[in-house]
């Protein structure tokens, strides 16, 4: 039979066990989730809600292309002089992912007397290897190639590397994006067949000699949206453009081609995402657009700095707030590097 003397140590033990516990946290299991940097991007707004990290003044800045150099962000931008209508390429940089960028410096202008380039160069796409960089720019006569140093100025080659003669059936070429692939280069760009048609994204490839072949369409607005006026479900009703392609590596060591691009609708444009395993067959993100606002967002450029994905873009609102905007995605652990 148990006696009160016998039960006493049992009660002590029960009290001890109860004291071992403490109130627990309710959540758990959601830290450090893999983040590919697709969504969500939060506009990098300052106190007055302005997401521009670079404001246009006498020069209208547009078509940014960002390059991560360690923890330094180098931004190549097209700058348009509205008085002369001439565009050139500028560069600015910022340390450690900060929003403060230096005053942009001129790094490339169209050479005087160029028969094919005209007076303007724009929409830069930069591919750097250590300090040496190749830059593809848009001109009135096609895409030109320039080379230079990441911190220096660039020189435009004498001949275009891609023009309308190499793209039968196309009426315009814009916004090139150059990447290095296994045996050479791939060039992505925005094109349209004629003035009334929708814009699409094209791809052409070359060997190491940068001689490109005929392009093929790799991305266009959803087929069910062609000819549709349903702007609710068809966010890129006027077509897609301004591609920026990056070659990334995921945690398994697989190669992933990432593309941010612009989807256009009457009076507005937003930013979408697509990805590919081979750079040819592309799949759109299920919840495009990934970034939109009441402003026009165009020419996206995506980099990874200090485990933070940053998206730079042309931000243009009601003819007043013109410049380069930035949005940041820093949730979880960055799972794709490039």
Partner 1 sequence: MSVLFVTPAHANPFDVYGAGARSTALGGAGTAGARDFSANHYNPALLAVLDGMEISFGYLSAKPSLKLNGGDLGVTQSRGSFAGVTLPRKLAWHRLAVSLSLYLPNNFITRVRSLPESQPRFVLYDNRPQRIVVTSSLAFEVFEDFFVGASLSYLSHTRGFMEMQGIVHLNDPGETLLMGGVDIDFASIRYPTFGVHWRPDQHWRLGLSLREPFHLKLDVGLIVDGDIVTTVAGQTVPLLEDGQLKLISHNTNLFSPRQLNLGVGYEGRLARIYLDLGWHQWSTFPTPTAYIETELDLDPLEFEVPTSKEPLEPGFKDIFVPRLGLELTAIDNDTIGLEPRLGYFFEPSPAPNQSKSTNYVDNPKHGLSVGMGLEFRALQPLFPGPVSLDLAAQAIWLQPRTYRKDDPADLIGSYRSTGWIFSLSTNVNFRF
Residues making contact with partner 1 (CB under 8 A): 1-2, 5-6, 9-10, 13-14, 17-18, 20-34, 36, 38-39, 250-252, 254, 256-257, 273-277, 282-287, 332-333, 335-336
Beta strands 200-206 and 72-81 are unpaired
Q: How far is the CB of 32 from partner 1 (least distance, A)?
A: 3
Q: How far is the CB of 245 from partner 1 (least distance, A)?
A: 13
Query: In the complex with partner 1, which residue's Cβ is closer, 38 or 77?
Result: 38
Q: How far is the CB of 78 from partner 1 (least distance, A)?
A: 28
Query: In the complex with partner 1, which residue's Cβ is closer, 164 or 275?
Result: 275
Q: How far is the CB of 203 from partner 1 (least distance, A)?
A: 15
Q: What is the chain's alpha carbon radius of gyration, rounded to the nearest angstrom? A: 25
Q: How far is the CB of 251 from partner 1 (least distance, A)?
A: 4
Q: How far is the CB of 15 from partner 1 (least distance, A)?
A: 11
Query: In the complex with partner 1, which residue's Cβ is closer, 1 or 318?
Result: 1
Query: In the complex with partner 1, which residue's Cβ is closer, 32 or 103?
Result: 32
Q: How far is the CB of 284 from partner 1 (least distance, A)?
A: 6
Query: In the complex with partner 1, which residue's Cβ is closer, 172 or 335?
Result: 335
Return the closest-CA partner of residue 282 out of 231, 328, 216.
216
Query: In the complex with partner 1, which residue's Cβ is closer, 20 or 318?
Result: 20
The three-state DSSP-derived secondary structure of the chain is CCCHHHHHHHHHHHHHHHHHCCCCCCCCCCCCCEECCCCCCEECCCCCCCCEEEECCCCEEEEEEEEEECCEEEEEEEEEECCCCEEEEEEEEEECCCCCCCCCEEEECCCCCCCCCCCCCEEEEEEEECCEEEEEEEECCEEEEEEEECCCCEEEEEEEEECHHHCCCCCEEEEEEEEEECCEEEEEEEEECCCCCCEEEEEEEECCCCCECCCEEEECCCHHHCCCCCCCCCCCCCEEEEEEEEEEEECCCCEEEEEEEEEEECCEEEEEEEEECCCCCEEECCCCCCECCCCEEEEEEEEEECCEEEEEEEEEECCCEEEEEEEEECCCEECEEC
Query: In the complex with partner 1, which residue's Cβ is closer, 67 or 282?
Result: 282
Alpha-carbon distance of 183 to 323, in angstroms, equals 37
Q: How far is the CB of 278 from partner 1 (least distance, A)?
A: 9
Query: In the complex with partner 1, which residue's Cβ is closer, 161 or 256?
Result: 256
């Amino acid at each position: 039979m148990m006696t009160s003397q016998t039960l006493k140590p049992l009660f002590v033990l029960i009290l001890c066990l109860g004291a071992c516990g403490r109130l627990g946290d309710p959540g758990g299991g959601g830290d450090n989730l893999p983040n590919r940097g697709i969504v969500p991007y939060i506009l990098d707004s300052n106190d007055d809600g302005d997401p521009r990290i670079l404001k246009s003044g006498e020069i209208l800045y547009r078509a940014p292309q960002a390059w991560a150099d360690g923890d330094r962000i180098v931004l190549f931008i097209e700058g348009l002089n509205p008085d002369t209508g001439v565009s050139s390429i500028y560069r600015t940089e910022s340390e450690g992912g900060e929003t403060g960028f230096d005053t942009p410096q001129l790094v490339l202008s169209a050479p005087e007397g160029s028969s094919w380039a005209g007076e303007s160069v724009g929409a830069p796409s930069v591919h750097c290897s250590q300090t040496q960089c190749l830059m593809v720019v848009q001109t009135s006569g096609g895409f030109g190639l320039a080379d230079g140093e990441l911190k220096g100025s660039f020189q435009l080659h004498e001949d275009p590397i891609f023009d309308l003669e190499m793209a039968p059936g196309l009426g315009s070429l814009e916004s090139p994006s150059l990447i290095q692939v296994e045996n050479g280069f791939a060039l992505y760009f925005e094109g349209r067949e004629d003035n009334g048609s929708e814009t699409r994204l094209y791809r052409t490839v070359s060997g190491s000699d940068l001689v490109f072949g005929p392009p093929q369409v790799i991305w266009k607005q959803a087929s069910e949206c062609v000819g549709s006026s349903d702007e609710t479900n068809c966010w890129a009703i006027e077509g897609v453009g301004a591609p920026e392609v990056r070659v990334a590596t995921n945690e398994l060591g697989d190669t992933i081609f990432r593309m941010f691009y612009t989807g256009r609708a009457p009076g507005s444009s937003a930013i979408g995402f697509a990805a590919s395993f081979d750079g040819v067959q592309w799949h759109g993100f299920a919840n495009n657009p990934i970034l939109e606002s009441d402003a026009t967002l165009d020419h996206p450029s995506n980099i990874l700095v200090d485990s933070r994905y940053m998206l730079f873009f042309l931000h243009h609102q009601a003819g007043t707030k013109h410049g380069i905007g930035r949005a940041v995605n820093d949730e979880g652990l960055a799972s794709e590097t490039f």
